[in-house]
Amino acid sequence: MANCIIAQSGGPTTVINASAAGLFRKNEEVKYFENVYAGINGIEGILNKKIINLSHENSEDIKHFMNTPSSGLGSCRYKMKGYEIDDSEYKKLISILKEYNITTFFYIGGNDSMDTVAKLSAYMKENNISINVIGIPKTIDNDLPITDHTPGFGSAAKLISTIALETYLDASVYTNNGIFILETMGRDTGWLAASACISKLYGHPVADFIYLPEVAFNGEKFIKDVAARFKEKNQVYIVASEGLKDSNGKFLSELGTSSGHDNFGHAQLGGVGSFLKNIIINSGITKRVKALELGVIQRCAMHLASKTDLDEAYRVGEKALELAIEGLNGYMAAIKRVSENPYVSETFPVEASKVANSIKYFPSEWINKENNNVTEEAFNYIAPLIEGSVSLDYDKYMPKFKVFSK
């Protein structure tokens, strides 16, 4: 019998480990691979032979690993060159995989990771190498095309909508309330910021305004809208994506600053809440303005994970194994929404090359005419994805988590 290997890449999510656990447990059931290996720190770790055998781990550890937030196998932001330019790393990787008798490489990740899946699978095919490469989706940004949504988004949406409701209540306790700004992640798309539309109190949305990267930010209109709402209510609640840009395509958070970039050339964002706070204060509306940047908590809050999200993450892991059994190469396990009410989804294969380096933007028809909030269609799309709570095992006061390393 041959072996397989699984690794994680890119930014973590709350439920990313459930996909690895789903694949592992499905293999235990069907016994297709003799051993399920794991690369620690993604493809970068595999190239450095940081490899462990998950098949030697006990079932309790796998259970706690499944319910552990963030990348329990470690991650990386490692970009392989095109093999047409330099195939030395491809040859090295293949040599290592053959050493472990690995015939399938599973890679959990987002846009850039699916690019790696597409490159590797194409190289294998062109060189008649009998190693298949299969992608498993994850990203809290929910920006992968073709799949209805991505594992990780539902839990992030649940965290954001819950925090929005709680902070709205906190910001509403005085007779003279101010303006509260909640900043979410989302470099290119507004899915995360839009998820705050789920937050309602007595049937009414708590967010007065939701601003997404899909619409160029208009500072004059922003101040006009906020001033009018503040005059009306003596309180304004704003949700803004970190990826807001001006009409020239410049990130608001980069204006007047020098921002770093990761290995894929993506700007390191954060700080749009402070930018909006400053222009509100400078406009003279009020000095009572607070801004909260949620940051990485959006991708590692297992205490607020969505059971639906965890279950679907598990199922795409199972589906990935099924794709391997079918002998597919260069495919990703995706999610299809079958029914809205009751919510039902299923998994299906899609070519990784059709997902790689592409972005699924928040639909323009789900943005209101004023470009400062979202429609009921957004609520109906997001709501089912945050349903259910995850039951965790505890060791006295703290949840039991499990990560692997070498």
Q: Which helix (H) or strand (E) element contains residue 304?
A: none
Give pLDDT, residue 269.
55
pLDDT at 314 over 80: yes
> Which region holds residue 212: left if phi is over 0, alpha if psi is between -120 and 50, else beta?
beta
In terms of domains, do 294 and 160 share one? yes
Asked if residue 382 belongs to a domain, the reply is no
Report the 10 Å Cβ neighbour count for 60.
11
In terms of domains, do 172 and 43 share one? no
CA 178 to chain centre: 32
In terms of domains, do 117 and 60 share one? yes
- pLDDT of 209-239, one tens digit each? 999 999 999 999 999 999 999 999 999 999 9
Domain extent for 128: 3-148+302-357+391-399
Asked if residue 405 belongs to a domain, the reply is no
- pLDDT of 299-312, one tens digit each? 999 999 999 999 99
In terms of domains, do 249 and 115 share one? no
Asked if residue 380 belongs to a domain, the reply is no
For residues 308 and 21, give the distance between their C-alpha atoms in angstroms, rounded to a whole number.
Answer: 16
State mean pLDDT over 117-133: 97
Kindly list the distances between the CA atom of residue 362 and the CA atoms of 19, 200, 212, 237, 313, in Å, as whole numbers in the listed order: 25, 21, 8, 21, 21
Active-site choice (115, 141, 188, 208): 141
Q: First vs last Cα of the chain: how many Å apart?
A: 25
In terms of domains, do 264 and 220 share one? yes
In terms of domains, do 160 and 285 share one? yes
Give pLDDT, residue 266.
47
Asked if residue 168 belongs to a domain, the reply is yes
Asked if residue 375 belongs to a domain, the reply is no
What are the residue ranges of helices labelled H in 15-127? 16-30, 42-47, 59-66, 88-99, 111-126
| Token pair of 121 as six digits | 């699978």
Amino acid at 235: Q
In terms of domains, do 201 and 270 share one? yes
Does the active-site annotation cover 395? no
Handedness of CA 278, 280, 282, 284 (dihedral sign): negative
Give pLDDT, residue 258.
40
Structural domain count, the chain = 2
In terms of domains, do 144 and 186 share one? no
Give pLDDT, residue 261.
45
**Which among 82, 5, 48 is positioned nearest to 406, based on CA atoms?**
48
Asked if residue 384 belongs to a domain, the reply is no
